[in-house]
Structure 1
């Protein structure tokens, strides 16, 4: 098992003292949902190269996109945009807002704290430090992670909250999510040290579900994040699946992460009980076998890959090409800043592409467009939101990311799709629009106070 830096008091004090220098983001955001900017008369993006991810529209050049309120109104050349704020996208590539399908946001403040030779194993150190988190600290991790998400062009996130120690933790994370201006899903989980024989807090899950349903303008839905067959017995996880079904909630679990865990044949345990299906997300699946692949494909469950963290923690290499050839719905995730280092969805995409070709020996096994699909329309489809977002289509929600292809490292653009997947970085993201509102413009996040966030991170780390 990989090891990491032991998170003792001396180490954490060092993190706190260095926080101002280590958190290298351009800005932070204000604490209110309404802080993002958009004029009442709308926005019009002009002269963009559009990767619509909509087969009916295809790829477009020198194209305008008109946005009113939270919707894409029209896509085409020379669109009228009277009164709308104009964004000149000459030399830029417009893509749908990226969908991150799996992210443990609460521990973002522990960035790069694992692993290292001679230290504690990653999971052991995380278990120890998780007990000392407060709701405020968890919310701070969510805020930091979502700030990076917006900076990188991610407009839909899946927060897999697996350190909910009591209902106050869930409320703190939800508040941070709503303040971000993004949309997505709150995967209600458990405390890191919850005994394997203990059940989740079903009562609070029901309470949060009712809360979200009653919230005007809510941009987040709910899912159930469980430990599953590899970390609990059937007497625990079977009632969790039954509860999710009764509440009409999607369900997610880590699976087949190591050869040892694969020995439990978790996928087959689920398949034999007819529990796999489109509402089930399997995370990592690094060591699934041929039988598992057939079962997942037959049932229509999705698999989320996080290649950067899977390699960093020693899980192994994601079987990207095998899963793709089986027509399994694939999505991509950052997973955790503890292991990924930062939120770079473009590196995640490129790594998935490279793994498919490296492991198959076929340099044409996968295309950049395949991978970009997983990070946009495919991610939305897996969430059951594909009719509302995931492509640059009139009538869909205005979640868009504009990448500056004029920058060194991006130009010349011979293939816009390949340029996005293989060359782009968060620094190349010029403009981010979520729900029709500007979160980033001209390379800068809007309405923010990053200095205050940096100080808060340093202060909270010192309290540990």
Structure 2
């Protein structure tokens, strides 16, 4: 006889359970059991109720899904939210953001800005995010303290940045941080050459060598605008993606962020190399950078994930809202109402993001053995009725204010809309104080 399994730490009994894998499935009258931070049971409610559990939570009107994965952002830039709106990308960067960063960004800025971003993301149902910003060691400490999961991409540029005077120094810091955190259960270090136009061939080759040696991901803004592609053709005689291919950077470890410009040759390179694309529709819309052809990529077999980008160009870190925008935009761009349906949109915001970061065996779907990264959406409100397809309702009729609970690795970070580890009033007060300093209003 097999000995009885140890009691579950927690049994959740929602109205709907959407595992994401297998695709398109909605389980009704099912339970999900968590033990030691992992999913230990998924099955019919009557079976679930026979199991011993330290805690049982009835969740009527609630849809359980994998925690959302925000595959691209600059967390600490939440302190620049709304600073330079309604401007094109290069004007926004060169005349506003880069000077503000040079003046204000230090370890304290990154600490407070990352905390603000983490709290906003937890409240929006995000359990894992990718961050690419200065002082990555500080950001990783904030992630560690928060209980969240993250990929921290080390920013690498040809010119001095806050915290690193040269690309070599940034790479060296990245290698050190990678070593320090390689056994961390929730943090992965990646390398983040900023963009093809800010990193030379020589430095890109260094990144490739290090990433191969450490088996680390490469996270990079690529083909964000038509101007970037044009400039590369003039300077190198090739499109940025072709240049990255020549330098050996394409592959399953590459996360190409934005990709609003995709030729047939670009598409072939992405497919052959098995690179992932990170789609940031709202930032691209706001900066008028262009449209990533998501449906075309998806049908070709490219892994497409979704990201919010930073709060300075979005201006929120609302991945549920981002996913809705992605689904609507995909239809307009493809000229097809059936492009990127609700179930695929949710997959893009969960399992595809996990796959892009190399975390698909750990998170991104609700499967026995995976980490218990789970979000509970409350669909009992007036604006969600009546419910024919709860996933459609989630994507097209639900805002992030419906996020009720969030668990990462079985630990609850949001309980009935309240942060369990962070002080919301303190976070607001700190952000307001930064806003006054940056705008020059000393009171």
Shorter-chain TM-score above 0.5:
yes
Change (3 A) 1:408 1:83: same
Give how far 1:392 is off: 1.1
TM-superposed deviation, 1:54: 1.8
The answer to whether the 8 A contact 2:342-2:391 is kept is: yes
Matches within 5 A, 1:349-360: 349-360=323-334
Q: Distance in 2 between matches of 1:452 and 1:192?
A: 37
Q: TM-score by structure 2 length?
A: 0.89
User: The residue matched to 1:340 in structure 2 has which SS?
Assistant: coil
Q: Which residue of the partner structure matches residue 455 of structure 1? A: 429
Counterpart among 418, 423, 440 of residue 414 in structure 2: 440
Which one has more relative contact order, counting CA pairs under 8 Å at least 6 apart?
A: 1
1:4 matched residue in structure 2: none
In 2, the alpha carbon distance for the partners of 1:231 and 1:307 equals 22
CA displacement at 1:185 relative to structure 2: 0.8
Match of 1:219 among 186, 190, 209: 186
Distance 1:109 1:128, change over 3 A: same
Partner residue of 1:64?
31
- Residues 283-302 of structure 1 mapped to structure 2, 5 A cutoff: 283-302=257-276
Deviation at residue 65 of structure 1 after TM alignment: 0.7
**1:260 CA displacement:** 1.5
C-alpha distance in structure 2 between counterparts of 1:116 and 1:273, whole Å = 35
| Alignment deviations for residues 21-79 of structure 1 (CA, whole Å, 9 cap, x no partner) | xxxxxxxxxxxxxxxxxxx9611111430111121893210111111120111011221
Q: Is the 8 Å Cα contact of residues 86 and 287 (structure 2) preserved in structure 1?
A: no
Kept in 2: contact 1:228–1:237 (CA 8 A): no
Q: What is the aligned partner in structure 2 of residue 205 from structure 1?
A: 174
Structure 1: gaps spanning 5 or more residues: 1-39
Q: Which residues of 2 match residues 125-136 of structure 1 at below 5 A? A: 125-131=96-102, 132-136=104-108
RMSD over aligned CA atoms reads: 2.3
**Structure 1 residues 402-434: Cα deviation after superposition (integer angstroms, max 9, x where no partner):** 111111222221111111111221110111111
2:179 is paired with a residue whose SS is: helix
| Matching residue of 1:10 | none
2:136 aligned with 1:170:
yes
Q: Counterpart of 2:278 in 1: which secondary structure?
A: strand
Separation in 1, partners of 2:254, 2:137: 24
Shift of 1:284: 0.2
The 1:438–1:119 alpha-carbon spacing in structure 2 relative to 1, beyond 3 Å, is closer
Tell me if 1:98 matches 2:68: yes
Please, which of 304, 318, 328 is the counterpart of residue 330 of structure 1? 304
Q: Which residue of 2 aligns with 1:395?
A: 369
SS in 2 for 1:107: helix
- On the 8 A contact 2:251/2:275 being kept in 1, the answer is yes
Relative to the length of structure 1, the TM-score reads 0.85
Matches for 1:64-463 after TM superposition, within 5 Å: 64-76=31-43, 77-78=45-46, 79=48, 80-116=50-86, 121-124=91-94, 125-131=96-102, 132-161=104-133, 164=134, 169-190=135-156, 194=160, 198-200=166-168, 201-213=170-182, 218-263=185-230, 264=232, 265-463=239-437
Q: Give the distance between the partners of 1:117 and 1:229, measured in 2 at CA.
A: 21
Q: In the TM superposition, what is the alpha-carbon distance from 1:87 to its structure 2 partner?
A: 1.9
Q: Output the CA distance in 2 between the equivalents of 1:347 and 1:118.
A: 22
Q: Is the 8 A contact 1:285 1:303 kept in 2?
A: yes
Give 1:191 shift: 6.8
How many residues are matched? 417
The CA deviation string for residues 270-293 of structure 1, in whole angstroms up to 9 with x for no partner, is 223443110011000001211101
| 1:374 Cα offset (Å) | 1.1
